[in-house]
Amino acid sequence: MYTQALNNNSDAADRTIEDAAHTTAFQARIDAEARIEPNDWMPAAYRKTLVRQISQHAHSEIVGMLPEGNWITRAPSLRRKVALLAKVQDECGHGLYLYAAAETLGASREELVDAMLAGKAKYSSIFNYPTLTWADIGVIGWLVDGAAIMNQIPLCRCSYGPYARAMIRVCKEESFHQRQGYEIMLTLCRGSAAQKAMAQDALNRWWWPVLMMFGPPDQASQHGDASTKWKIKRFSNDELRQKFVDATVPQAQYLGLSIPDPGMTQDEEGHWRHGAIDWSEFKQVLAGNGPCNRDRLAARRKAHDDGAWVREAAAAYAEKRKFRQAAQAAE
């Protein structure tokens, strides 16, 4: 968004020199809830944090198409098929809005994508789990998109303007994702005993990985403090996780499904307190050892390589037309 060319002005380097006055004025603007725009002065660490966060978010949307794309051709009805197709198309759009937001910070989409394909950039751990049955598509919409919405709503007020605006767009589109997922769950739960068992099995497999989506517990999170000060992050990982659990438990009860957490209790204030999360699993998945990490990267690399001729042909065609136009103008 806006023009990246401006960020390459010769005085851009001077502008990144962090003098104390700049930093103070920057923080004062953040404290006053002002939005930071691409060509405004910003601390180098703020820029770096945002490029990392926004690009990881973008990669997640793109890789996130794979587990669901797996079921498009096998959706049980035309209604389900068009919904799933539209949802997966939305996720692609979300990825593109986010790459564009990251580019306003001076990164290039090509570099960001290459880093992801090289396995150097992270994406959400959740997309490294397999979609074994149709019920997984229901659970993903209901819980994975539900968790993403929890995380994305506060980001609509993020201090960085282009990211906040991308999130507003994303959140508007996201609500149908969750609703179509819950509708799938409701249909399965009102169906035969086998269908309901399938729904419960999917919930059992996805529940804990979904809770991990909110990231490590607050005391272990490395990026919390600065991001909070800069108003990139408005709620801590644990706060968002708690909000999500409180919202989700009644929805599971309505479906007649049980949360696979024998240690779960409701406290005096009505909050549902989950049992201990197995963070070693989370670390394993982040380290590349989840059930589908290799598959996901291989699929993205194949798509990228298979599309190379299209990018090359489009560039060659644009070049040819430019050449012809120049020749015509010279005549």
| Residues engaged in binding Fe ion (CB under 5 A) | 61, 91, 94, 145, 174, 177
CA distance 279 to 292: 18
Residue 39 CB, shortest distance to other proteins, in Å, is: 5
In the complex with other proteins, the residue whose CB is nearer, 172 or 190, is 172
Helices 161-189 and 237-255: crossing angle in degrees, nearest 10, is 20
Which of 71, 97, 123, 207 touches other proteins by CB under 8 A? Answer: 97
Distance CA 16, CA 24 (A): 14
145 makes contact, choosing from Fe ion, other proteins, none, with CB < 5 to 8 Å by partner type, with Fe ion
Least gap, CB of 267 to other proteins (angstroms): 41
Q: What is residue 233's three-state secondary structure?
A: coil
Task: Give yes or no for a contact between 201 and 133, defined as CB atoms under 8 angstroms apart.
Answer: yes
Q: Quick one: 100 or 249, whose CB is closer to other proteins?
A: 100
- The interface mask with other proteins, positions 59-88, x = CB under 8 A, is ---------------------------x--
Half-sphere exposure of 84 (CA within 13 A, CB side): 26
Residue 298 lies near other proteins (rule: CB under 8 A): no
* In the complex, minimum distance from the CB of residue 143 to other proteins, in angstroms, rounded to a whole number: 24
Partner in contact with 177, chosen from Fe ion, other proteins, none, beta carbon below 5 to 8 Å by kind: Fe ion
Nearest alpha-carbon partner for 138 in 90, 206, 82, 73: 206
Determine which residue in the list 5, 32, 326, 327 makes contact with other proteins, applying CB under 8 A.
Answer: 5
Q: Select from 29, 35, 43, 111 the one that contacts other proteins (CB under 8 A).
A: 111
Q: Which does 278 bind (CB under 5 to 8 A by kind): other proteins, Fe ion, none?
A: none
Q: Which two tokens stand for residue 224?
A: 């919390």
Compare residues 174 and 261 and give the one whose CB is closer to Fe ion: 174
Q: Token match 């309901």: residue?
A: 196
Alpha carbon distance 95, 124 (integer Å): 13
**CB contact at 8 A, 87 and 177:** yes
24 contributes a contact to other proteins by CB under 8 A? no
Q: Give CA–CA dist 140/132, Å, rounded.
A: 12
Largest CA distance in the chain: 84
Interaction mask 173-202, other proteins, x per CB under 8 A: x-----------------------------
**Closest CB 161 distance from other proteins, rounded Å:** 11
Neighbour tally for 152: CB within 10 Å = 19
Q: What are phi and psi of 266, to 5 degrees?
A: -105, 125
Contact partner, 249, from other proteins, Fe ion, none, Cβ < 5-8 Å per class: none
Distances (CA, A) of 300 to 110, 113, 177, 277, 297: 14, 10, 23, 30, 5
Q: Which residues bind other proteins (CB under 8 A)?
A: 1-6, 15, 37, 39-41, 86, 89-90, 93, 96-97, 100, 103, 108-111, 113-114, 166, 169, 173, 304, 311, 314-315, 317-318, 321
